[in-house]
Chains A and B, each alone.
Chain A
Amino acid sequence: MQIFGHSLQELFPQLLLGLINGSFYAVLSLGLAIIFGLLNIINFAHGAQYMIGAFLAWIGLTYFGVSYWAALVLAPLLVGLLGVLIERLMLRRLYQLDHLYGLLLTFGLALIAEGVFRNYFGISGESYEVPELLQGGVNLGFMFLPLYRGWVVVAALTVCFLVWFAIERTRLGATLRAATQRPDLVQALGINVPLLVTATYAAGSALAAFAGVLAAPVIQVNPLMGSNLIIVVFAVVVIGGMGSILGSIVTGVGLGLVEALTKVYYPEASAVVIFLIMVIVLLLRPAGLFGRQA
Chain B
Amino acid sequence: MRYRTLIQATGLALTLAAAGAAQAQISDGVVRIGVLTDLSGAYSDLSGQGAVVATQMSIDDFLAQEKPDFKVDMVSADHQDKGDIAANKAREWFEQGKVDVVTELVNSSTALAVQKIGKEKNRVVLISGAASTKITNEECNDVTVHWTYDTYSVANGTAKAVVKQGGKTWFFLTADYAFGQSLEKDASDVVTANGGTVLGAVRHPFPGSDFSSFLLKAQASGAQVIGLANAGTDTTNSIKQAAEFGITPKQSLAGLLVFITDVNSLGLKATQGMYLTEGFYWDLNDETRAWSKRFFEKHKRMPTMVQAGQYSSVMHYLKAVKAVKSDDTQKVMAQMKKTPVNDFFAKNGQIRDDGRMVHDMYLFQVKKPSESTGPWDYYNVRATIPAAEAFQPLSASKCPLLKK
Interface residues of A (CB under 8 A from B): 10, 13-14, 17, 20-21, 115, 118, 122-127, 130, 137, 143-144, 146, 148-149, 218-220, 222, 224-225, 228-229, 260, 263-264, 267-268, 270-272
A130–B245 alpha-carbon span in the complex (Å): 12
B213 lies within 8 A of A10 (CB): no
> What are 18 contact pairs spanning A and B, CB under 8 A?
A14-B213, A17-B213, A17-B216, A122-B44, A123-B43, A123-B48, A123-B233, A124-B45, A124-B233, A124-B262, A125-B265, A130-B244, A148-B244, A219-B210, A220-B265, A267-B203, A270-B205, A271-B208
User: In the complex, what residue of chain B is closest to A126 when comparing beta carbons?
Assistant: B265
Question: A218 near B203 (CB under 8 angstroms)?
Answer: no
**Contacts of A123 on B, CB cut-off 8 Å?**
41-45, 48, 232-233
Binding site for A on B (CB under 8 A): 40-46, 48, 176, 202-205, 207-210, 212-214, 216-217, 220, 232-233, 236-237, 240-241, 244-246, 261-262, 264-267, 270, 301
| Beta-carbon contact of B237 and A219 below 8 Å | yes
Residue ID in chain B nearest A145 by CB atoms: B245
> Given known contacts A124-B264, A220-B265, is B213 in contact with A271 (CB within 8 Å)?
no
Q: Are A218 and B265 in contact (CB under 8 A)?
A: no
Return the chain A residue nearest B246 by Cβ. Answer: A144
Contact check, B212 vs A229: say whether CB atoms are below 8 A apart: no
With A10-B220, A225-B209, A267-B214 already in contact, the answer to whether A122 and B261 are too (CB < 8 A) is yes
Given A13-B216, A228-B209, A267-B214, also A125-B44 (CB < 8 A): no
Given A126-B265, A219-B240, A146–B213 Cβ distance below 8 Å? no
Name the 10 nearest CB pairs between A and B, nearest first: A271-B205, A124-B265, A263-B213, A124-B45, A122-B45, A123-B45, A144-B246, A123-B44, A124-B261, A220-B236
A57 to chain B, nearest CB (A): 15
List of B residues within 8 angstroms of A13 by Cβ? 216
Residues of B contacting A17 with CB < 8 Å?
210, 212-213, 216
How far apart sit A222 and B46, CA to CA, in the bound complex (Å)?
A: 15
B262–A268 contact, CB under 8 A?
Answer: no
What's the least CB distance linking B179 to chain A, in Å?
Answer: 15
Q: B246 and A127: CB pair below 8 A?
A: no
Do the beta carbons of B202 and A218 come within 8 Å of each other? no
Bound CA span A216–B45, Å: 20
Cα distance A127–B213 when bound, in Å? 21
B209 and A229 contact, CB distance less than 8 A = yes
In the assembled complex, how far is the CB of residue A219 from the closest CB belonging to chain B, in whole angstroms?
A: 5
- In the complex, the answer to whether A268 meets B246 with C-beta atoms within 8 Å is no
Interfacial chain A residues near B217, Cβ < 8 Å? 267
